[in-house]
Structure 1
Amino acid sequence: MTDVDSATRQPVRLTIIPRHRQPPQVALLDWIHRRPEYRPAVRSAGGGGGGRPGFSDAVIIAVLAQGLLPGLFNLLQSWVDQQRTEASIRIQSGETEVELQVNGRTDAARLLTQATEALRAVREPGDLPDAPA
């Protein structure tokens, strides 16, 4: 197994923070839980207190294999489009962390590409494509 294979099998931790001016028609967690494969891995971080006012129940934590990211990003993008809102995603894999913004102009496939490239760039800083030769 190559390093790339092992990296794609490594679980990632996502913190998803939806932003909305008014209560959504369907809560993001409920939207994600419509797909049974995400129910055990995706949960609310709120638990009724602790975080910033108004945000504790909106923050969602997911720990899942990178292979499940395309479906999760598609669900998130469809929710953002339906709610006409935005969200931010903080993705952690090992010691690596990146943050991405999702809005109505974001493409789910591009989001996956951005996440993959950002995680790879942080893991392998000497191999950045913009590094001077």
Structure 2
Amino acid sequence: MTDTAAAARLPVRLTISPRQRQSPSVDLLTWIHRRPEYRPVVRAAGGGGGRPGFSDAVIIAVLAQGLLPGLFNLLQSWVDQQRTEASIRIQAGDTEVELQVSGRTDSARLLAQATEALRAAQATEALPAARESGSDAVD
């Protein structure tokens, strides 16, 4: 298996907090669950995001990185339709990054930002393991 294929299977945790100025015509979780591959891995969280202006409809997803492009496309289309915004916290290993999604956000750019953050997390986690094994590949 290639490193790219292996990375696509590694799980990533996302916390999605939609900003809702008014009640949406379709809530985000229902929107995402229209695609069956996301039903078992995307669920409503137990509480609010605790951020001013963001709703209590926080969504948690733990999924393979290979599913991120489709999820980001769904999120972007929902944001565009609702004319609203959302915040995504992505956690991989010990690294966490937060991305903002608005009507001006490109889902391909979201994926690029998430991928870069995940690479950084993998590199950070690989560094101690390489040092423990005495590898000269890591400086």
Measure, in 2, the Cα distance between the counterparts of 1:51 and 1:34.
Answer: 24
Q: SS where residue 124 of structure 1 aligns? A: helix
Matches within 5 A, 1:93-108: 93-108=92-107
Letter of the 2:10 partner, please give it. Q
The answer to whether 1:14 aligns with 2:14 is yes
Q: CA deviation at 1:38?
A: 0.4
Measure, in 1, the Cα distance between the counterparts of 2:13 and 2:48.
Answer: 20
Measure, in 1, the Cα distance between the counterparts of 2:63 and 2:44.
Answer: 15
Aligned to 2:119: 120
Measure, in 2, the Cα distance between the counterparts of 1:21 and 1:85.
Answer: 7
Structure showing greater Rg: 2
Matches within 5 A, 1:76-91: 76-91=75-90
Coordinate RMSD, CA, aligned = 2.0
Q: SS where residue 104 of structure 1 aligns? A: coil
Aligned to 2:24: 24
String of CA shifts for 1:66-101, please: whole Å, max 9, x gaps: 000000000000000000000010011122211111
Change (3 A) 1:66 1:111: same
Q: CA deviation at 1:120?
A: 1.2
How many corresponding residue pairs?
Answer: 122
Change (3 A) 1:51 1:100: closer
Gaps of 5+ in 2: 125-139
TM-score, with structure 1 as normaliser: 0.82
The answer to whether 1:109 aligns with 2:108 is yes
Q: SS where residue 24 of structure 1 aligns? A: coil
Measure, in 2, the Cα distance between the counterparts of 1:62 and 1:42.
Answer: 4
Letter of the 2:85 partner, please give it. E
Letter of the 2:107 partner, please give it. A
Q: SS where residue 24 of structure 2 aligns? A: coil
TM-score, with structure 2 as normaliser: 0.79
Matched-pair identity in %: 79
Measure, in 2, the Cα distance between the counterparts of 1:104 and 1:36.
Answer: 25
